A and B are shown apart, each in its own frame.
Chain A
Amino acid sequence: MELITPGVGLIFWTTITFLILIFLLGKFAWKPILESVETRNKEIEDALILAEKTKKEMEQLQSDNKALIQEARIERDAILKEAREIKNSLISEAKEKAKLEGEKIVSSARETIKNEKVAAVAELKNQVAALSIDIAEKILKKELSTDDKQESMVKTLIAEVNVN
C-alpha cells in the first residue's frame, strides 16, 4: 500500500522544512511575542497590585482620619467640660464673694446707722437740755420779774435749807 509507505523524499524535505521553521519562528516570532505578552501580563499584574495597595492605603488613611476626628471630638468635649466647670466655679466664687461683700456692706451700714442714731440722740439730748435751760431761764425770768416774787423765792429756798 503506497498510502501507508512513507516516502524518503518527503521525510527529507519535511525534516529540513520543519527544522528551519522551528528555528526561524522561535527566533523571530515566538521569542518576541511571548516576551511581550509576558511583559504585558506582568505590567497588568503590577498595576493591579498597585491599585490594591493604593486602595488599602486610602482605607488606612480614611480610618486614620476617622480616629483623628474621634480624638478631636473627645478633646473638644473635654475642653468644653473643663470650660463649663471653670465657668461654674467662677460664678459660684463670684456669688460667694458678692455675698460676703454684701454682708460686709450691710454690717458697716448698720454700724453707721447705729453711730448716726447715737449721735442724733446725743444732739437731741443737747437740744432738749438747751431748750429746757431756755425755758427754765424764761420761766425764772418771769418768776423773778418782780421784787415780791424774788423775796418769796428766797424765803422758800431758805425754808428748804432750814429743813435740811
Chain B
Amino acid sequence: MHRSLTTDMIRNIFFFILVLISQVALADSGHVEHDHEVEFDAKETIIHHILDAHDWHLWDTQSDNGEVHSVSIPLPIILFTDGNLDVFMSSAFNHGHSKVVKGDREYELDHDHIIETSGKSVVDLSITKNAATLMIAAIILLLLFTAVARNYKNGNLLPKGLTGFMEPLIVFVKEEIAIPNIGEKHYRKFTPYLLSLFFFIWLLNLLGLIPFFPGGANVTGNVAVTLVLAVFTMILVNVNGNSGYWKHIFAPPGVPLWMYPIIVPVEIVGVISKPFALMVRLFANITAGHIVILSLISLIFIFKTAWASVAAIPMALFISVLELLVAALQAYIFTLLTALFIGLAVQEEHH
C-alpha cells in the first residue's frame, strides 16, 4: 500500500515535469511571431492568454513568405442582435482578418470582441474557449463519477481501482467539509452540491494548468465563472436560511435598538459580500498564478535569449507545482466557505 503510493507520487511528479516541459515548448512556439515581427509585449501576451477567446488556439505556422498563420479549433459563435439569432463558426472571422455578414448585420472581431460595425448592441452567447472547457470538464466529471458509482453496483461495497482513489476524496468532502460545518442534521441535503462544486472547481483549476488542448483555458480565473459559482452559493444559502438566520440580519440579538440603523445595513451587505469574497478569491488566486507563470516564461522573450530559460524554467516549474497545490486548496476553500455559510444559515438557535 505504502509502496504503491510512493510510486504513484513519483509517476505524478514525472508527469507534471513532462507537462511543464511541453508548456515551455508551446509557449516558445506561440511567441515566435512576436519575436520576428514586432516588439514582444509581455503584458499584452499575458492578458491575451488569461482572457477568454472565441477560438481554441493550438499553434502558429509560418509560410515561406514569412506570413504567420494560427492553427486553432473553431468554436460556435452565437449572437443576438436586434432580436435576430446569428450562429456561425469562429473560423468565419479568419482570425480577425475577415468580417462576417448575416442579413443586414456585419460582425467583426476586435481584440477578441465581436462588434457590429453599424453599432447595434450584440449579446454574445458564443461557446467560447472557457465555455467549451466548462463543458469538457462537466463531461469528464460525469464519466469519472458515474464510473465510480458503477463500482458499487450489485451490492458490492468494496472500493476497487478508480473508486479506491476517488472515494477518500468524496468521503473527505462529506466528513471534513459538509458534516463539521453544516451539522449532522442538515448536511445530507447539501453534500451533493458541495461535492459537485469541489470537483468542478478543482478539475477546472487543473485543466487551466495544462498549457495545451484540452486545457489552457483560464476558466476559474475568469470572473464570470466565479461569479456564477458564488451566486449559486448565495442563492442556496438564502433560500435555505431559517428564521434564526434572518433574525440575525434584521433583528440581531443582543444589539441595542439604536444600533440597528448601523448593524442591519452591515448585515445586509454581508449577504452580498460573503459570496462576493468567494468570487474574487477564486478568480484572483487562479489568475495570479497564471500571470506569474506566464511572466516567468515571458522573461525568455523579453531577454531574447534561450539562456534566460535557465532561470525562468526552474522558477516556472516551482510556481507550477505551487499552483497544483493552489488548485486543490482554492477548490477546498470555496467548498469549505460555502459549507460554512450554509451551516450558519441552517443552524438551530442555541442561546
Contacts and interface: CB of A to CB of B under 8 A. Distances in A.
A71 B299 CA distance: 93
Interface stretch (A4-12, A83-91, A141-149): A4-12
Contacts, number: 124
Interface string A34-54: 111101100100000000000
A21 B196 contact: yes
B193 interface: yes
A29 B152 contact: no
Interface in B136-185: 138, 141-142, 145-146, 148-149, 152-153, 157-158, 167, 170-171, 174
Given A3-B287, A39-B157, A12 B125 contact: yes
Nearest to A33: B149
29 contacts: A3-B47, A3-B50, A5-B223, A7-B128, A7-B224, A10-B128, A10-B224, A10-B225, A11-B227, A14-B229, A17-B138, A18-B134, A18-B200, A21-B138, A21-B142, A21-B196, A22-B192, A22-B196, A25-B195, A28-B142, A29-B142, A30-B170, A30-B191, A30-B192, A31-B192, A33-B152, A33-B167, A34-B192, A37-B171
A24 interface: yes
Nearest to B194: A30
Interface in B189-215: 191-193, 195-196, 200
Given A25-B142, A33-B167, A13 B223 contact: no
A102 interface: no
Given A24-B142, A25-B196, A11 B170 contact: no
Given A30-B191, A30-B196, A10 B52 contact: yes
Contact of A14 (B142, B196, B225): B225
A14 B191 contact: no
A8 B124 contact: yes
Interface string B25-50: 00000000000000000000001001
B229 A18 contact: yes
Interface of A: 2-15, 17-18, 20-22, 24-26, 28-37, 39-40, 43
Contacts of A22: 192-193, 196
B127 interface: yes
B145 A25 contact: yes
Contacts of B126: 9
B232 interface: yes
Interface residues of B, number: 46
A8 B228 CA distance: 11
A6 to B, nearest CB: 4
Contacts of B153: 32
B90 interface: no
A77 to B, nearest CB: 56
Contact of A9 (B124, B167, B174): B124
A36 to B, nearest CB: 4
Contact of A36 (B142, B157, B222): B157
B337 interface: no
B223 A3 contact: yes
A34 B224 contact: no
A15 B124 CA distance: 15
B123 interface: yes
Nearest to A31: B192
Listed residue (A31, A36, A39) with the most chain B CB atoms within 10 angstroms of its CB: A36
Nearest to B131: A13
B130 interface: yes
B51 interface: yes
A122 to B, nearest CB: 120
B135 interface: yes
A17 B287 CA distance: 22
Contacts of A39: 157
A62 to B, nearest CB: 34
A137 to B, nearest CB: 140
A33 B170 contact: yes
Contacts of B125: 8-9, 12-13
Contacts of A20: 138
